[in-house]
Amino acid sequence: MLMLMSNLRDLEIRHLTALDAVASEGTFARAADKLGYTQSAISQQIASLEKVVDAKVFDRPGGPRPVTLTPFGEQLLVASRDMLKRVDCMAEDLNRFRTGTVGRLTIGTFQSVSATLLPLVLGRMRDTHPDVEIRVFENDLDDQLEVAMTRGELDMSFVVGEMAGRFESRHLFDDPFVLVARPDQFAPGPVSLVDISREPMIGQHHNSCQIMNETGLRAHGLDPKYVFRTNDNVATAAMVRAGMGVAVMPLLCVEPDDPRISLHPLDPPIPDRSIYIAWRPGRTLSPVAERFLELALEISAEFVDRTVPVPALA
């Protein structure tokens, strides 16, 4: 018994396929025709099978008469057909995975992407891949997204900056910093940093984008005077509308068509932030991850136009 159980690990799918074909067709010749093999090949497969299980599986009367299963062969055929069905199911599952019909995907993101780009990508994924399971992890701290990717908790993540050498990434678009003010607070068009320096400011806590923001302003001699900080983009705009101060924010973080605020290019401008999508280096992306990447790149083209500073509404 122990020897038989050990030998069964040497069974191959082709052995079971030959057993099923001969049992169904009754002769080795017809089984060979069904499978597209030679009769000698089928005979060899059955002989190999009988050697592995150490038992006869067919009684062979000789001549043109059909072969019949031995009692052991009957028992083996039941188990074999069950296994072949499982193999067929596995093949179907793998084909669905390979084509991106099914799969799992965990995406990292941050607030402004979550509110703009990501819903468009997810909507397209849902339309074309409704059976894919997608989860989203949001964090405004890039280092936390990096840690999650390194641990394998994220398949890929939207990030600010290329992260060269640490992750593979693709550039999506550049996102300029703009001044957010009340309507008619400044003349339409660019606003100088000198004029901004006289205003109280609404800022965020020290995440990566805020650090870029302040670094750019200070490089031009502006030392922001913050009267309120929040990492909520909606709250930042609300405080500007309330007249508490002005804000310098990435364009993606604000709603350009909101008539209750006015957007202005900065004069001189500070460096744009660059939006990327990244994943662990040396890791093969799943078909659904590759499709998500394709959609992110495709839909990001719609945001390139938003990087062009727009005149403030009068």
pLDDT (0 to 100) of residue 309: 47
Cα–Cα distance, 288 to 15 (Å, whole number): 35
Residue with tokens 């062009």: 308
Q: What percentage of the chain reaches a pLDDT higher than 70?
A: 93
Amino acid type, 205: H
- In CATH terms, the fold of domain 177-271 is D-Maltodextrin-Binding Protein; domain 2 (3.40.190)
Q: How confident is the model at residue 120 (pLDDT cuts 50, 70, 90)?
A: very high
Helices (H), the chain: 2-7, 13-25, 28-35, 39-53, 71-98, 111-115, 117-128, 142-150, 193-196, 208-219, 233-241, 287-304
What mean pLDDT comes out for the span 80-104? 79
What mean pLDDT comes out for the span 130-141? 91
| Burial 76-87, CB ≥16 within 10 A → b, else e | bbeebeeeeeee
Q: Which residues face 168 on adjacent strands?
A: 279
**Domain boundaries along the sequence of the chain:** 2-98, 104-173+274-307, 177-271
Does residue 204 surpass a pLDDT of 80?
yes
User: 227-275: per-residue pLDDT in tens?
Assistant: 999 999 999 999 999 999 999 999 999 998 899 999 999 999 999 999 9
Q: How confident is the model at residue 312 (pLDDT cuts 50, 70, 90)?
A: very low
User: 26-52: per-residue pLDDT in tens?
Assistant: 999 999 999 999 999 999 999 999 999
Does residue 105 surpass a pLDDT of 90?
yes
pLDDT (0 to 100) of residue 65: 80
The three-state DSSP-derived secondary structure of 255-274 is CCCCCCCEEEEEECCCCCEE
**Is the CATH code 3.40.640.10 the one for domain 104-173+274-307?**
no
List the one residue out of 55, 2, 6 whose CA is nearest residue 47: 55
| Burial 205-242, CB ≥16 within 10 A → b, else e | eebbbbebbbebbeebebebeeebeebebeebbebbee
Query: 104-173+274-307 and 177-271: same fold?
Result: yes
Mean residue pLDDT across the chain? 89
Q: How confident is the model at residue 210 (pLDDT cuts 50, 70, 90)?
A: confident
What mean pLDDT comes out for the span 205-217? 86
According to DSSP, the β-strands at 156-160 and 273-279 are antiparallel
User: 144-202: per-residue pLDDT in tens?
Assistant: 999 999 999 999 999 998 876 789 999 999 999 999 999 989 999 999 999 999 999 99
Amino acid type, 88: D
Does residue 289 surpass a pLDDT of 60?
yes
Cα–Cα distance, 273 to 88 (Å, whole number): 50
pLDDT (0 to 100) of residue 203: 93
- In CATH terms, the fold of domain 2-98 is Arc Repressor Mutant, subunit A (1.10.10)
Cα–Cα distance, 303 to 156 (Å, whole number): 20
List the one residue out of 222, 220, 239 whose CA is nearest residue 231: 239
Q: How confident is the model at residue 311 (pLDDT cuts 50, 70, 90)?
A: very low
DSSP assignment string, 67-96: PEE-HHHHHHHHHHHHHHHHHHHHHHHHHH
